[in-house]
Structure 1
Amino acid sequence: MTQPVDIEREDDGSDIARRSIGARRNPASQDAILDAAEAILREEGIPGFSIEAVARRARAGKPTIYRWWPNRAALLLDVYKRFKNQRPFPDTGTLRGDLVGFLENQLLGFWKDSLCGTVYRSIIAEAQVDQGAAGALQAYHRERQAFAAQIVERAKGRGEIDKGVNAIVAIDLVVSFAWHQLLIGRIEAAMDEIEIVVDMVLQGLEGYRAT
């Protein structure tokens, strides 16, 4: 069977055949598409971002993009994850230090002075009206929950909090604060409240005992 091929033309007029097999992503095509999506976001912001614009910029076929990213939110999330994956989760040796670092580096501080906050807010907004976008966001949220929950699990292992603490719920308490500040455009002010929020969450966790 002939493999589907996306033919892309370089500026010098030469043709490049980028092959894909079914839903399997070709690394070269994927990188070109994500590079194009990132460039459009940086240059034109969310208003100028569309699958059509990315396809033109990447010299890729729209069917290829839709095969790998079924909706705009899924593509936005992959661009967003490119930036997020460059930031490791904190491991300071204490739960307080880790939660403060989580808010400062992974959430509020990550969104504060960059395009990333605008992109993520747009994804959340699309998820309210588009089932596909909601599914993509929920899948990403579950993935991030699993990583972030390790912060709480380490604290349980050190004996800082009761072993019966639900790590996912504990992380959601912190993440919910950050999401709220993002959605109402209050990130700058919230940066000054990080330690207050963390200390209040810790008071609840340290006093919790599983029954």
Structure 2
Amino acid sequence: MTEAETKPARRSIGATRNPASQEAILQAAEAVLLENGLSGFSIEAVARRARAGKPTIYRWWPSQAALLLDVYHCRKKVDFNFPDKGNVRDDLRAYLKGLLATWQGTSGAIFRCVVAKAQGEPEAFAALSAYMAERRLQSRRLVEKAQERGEVRADVRPELVTEMLSSFAWGRLLTERLDISDEEVDAVIDTVLAGIVPRPAG
């Protein structure tokens, strides 16, 4: 019998999340995922490891994908905030480097699992889609501020600019090529900027 099986179960406290129980579940979910892989991940395994009831877990996280996304948020290697450097080039550069840094290590492995689950599970797809929609709304402000400063043409769609950069980062994440030089980052940013900066008069 394992140590987890001999310890008393944590008491469920209903819809309100108890911080200690929540952290125990998140830690258990991360451990189960990293030890067993995506194919061996289950709410049952997480519940046993965290000494929590399955109903409690499902009450707080309606799907495996929702739980994994919470683990991802809590385990990011870098606390990624949208930059405000005062100019579009530095903002987009910091944005791309921030994404790549965030996905290095455990957090990248967890996010790859969420993406993998979304390919075949409607609930996982919905959770990932909602997360990405929120991120697009936040990241578009980088370009909107640049448009207000006159650095980016008014006809440019802000969400497409940051989506191009995030798509590049996704490709590197899914093929485990997150180590990228500053020269490569600059080349990507220069390529994007060439298509969105104001055109010379005439």
Distance in 2, Cα, partners of 1:197 & 1:86: 23
Q: Report sequence identity in percent.
A: 47
Q: Which residue of 2 aligns with 1:33?
A: 25
Match of 2:140, SS? Answer: helix
Residues 1:198 and 2:179 aligned together: no
1:108/1:191 contact within 8 Å kept:
no
Distance 2:169 2:68 in 1: 20
Checking the alignment, whether the CA contact within 8 Å between 1:36 and 1:54 is kept in structure 2 is: yes
Query: For 2:131 and 2:45, how far apart are their aligned partners in 1?
Result: 24
Deviations 1:158-191 (A, max 9, x none): 2211233221111111111111222223323577
Measured against aligned partners, the alpha-carbon deviations of 1:15-67 in whole angstroms (never above 9, x if no partner) come to 7534114xx54444323312322344455554553212211121111122122
Q: Distance in 2 between matches of 1:68 and 1:161?
A: 42
In the other structure, the counterpart of 1:61 is 53
Q: Which amino acid aligns with 2:157?
A: N
**1:56-205 superposed matches below 5 A:** 56-84=48-76, 86-105=79-98, 107-112=99-104, 114-189=105-180, 193-205=184-196
Provide the aligned C-alpha RMSD in A.
2.7
How many Å apart are 1:9 and its aligned residue? 9.5
Counterpart residue identity of residue 124, structure 1: V
Q: TM-score, normalised by structure 2?
A: 0.83
One-letter identity of the residue aligned with 2:142: I
Aligned to 1:17: 11
Q: Which structure has the highest strand share of the two?
A: 1
Q: Structure 2 vs 1, CA of residues 192 and 131 (structure 1 numbering), >3 Å: closer, same or farther?
A: farther
| Paired residue type of 1:137 | L
Count of paired positions: 195
Q: Supply the distance in 2 between the matched residues of 1:152 and 1:10 (Cα, whole angstroms).
A: 54
Contact 2:65 2:124 in 1 (8 A): yes
Q: TM-score, normalised to structure 1's length?
A: 0.79
